[in-house]
Amino acid sequence: MDQPNNFSIKTFTETTKTVCACSSISIFLIVLFIISPLSKLLMVSSLMKILILVLLIYTIYLNIKQTNYLSNANKLKLSNQIS
């Protein structure tokens, strides 16, 4: 996936699914451990906040990587393979 000459819509969609799943899991964990009464448990809440932060950073990383990948593919006139 690092080479834009070998653009694969299947690889692109699989990574996009991963971004969506990470976002959904992090939203669920935010609701569960920050908004709910479980946030009162200090140790669990602190660990989950760290886990949520790591998950969100990973999601942002994947999103930026996919955006750059799609941009490079578009620059190489591979738009006919994208559609």
The answer to whether position 82 is within a domain reads no
Number of domain units in the chain: 1
Say what the pLDDT of residue 37 is.
80
The per-residue pLDDT for range 27-70, each reduced to its tens digit, is: 998 888 888 887 777 777 788 889 999 999 999 999 999 888 88
70-76 average pLDDT score: 75
Residue 2 lies inside a defined structural domain of this protein: no
Q: Which two tokens stand for residue 25?
A: 């899991």
pLDDT of residue 1: 46
Q: CA nearest 78: which of 14, 16, 6, 15?
A: 6
Say if 53 falls within a structural domain. yes
pTM: predicted TM-score of the whole model, two decimal places: 0.73
Rounded to an integer, what distance in angstroms lies between the CA atom of residue 37 and that of residue 53? 19
In a domain, 61, yes or no: yes
What range does the domain containing 20 cover?
A: 8-75
Residue 15 belongs to some domain of the structure = yes
What's the rounded Cα separation, in Å, for the pair 60 and 67?
10
Which of the two residues, 73 and 23, has the higher pLDDT score? 23
CA geometry: angle at 18 spanning 16 and 78, to 5°?
25
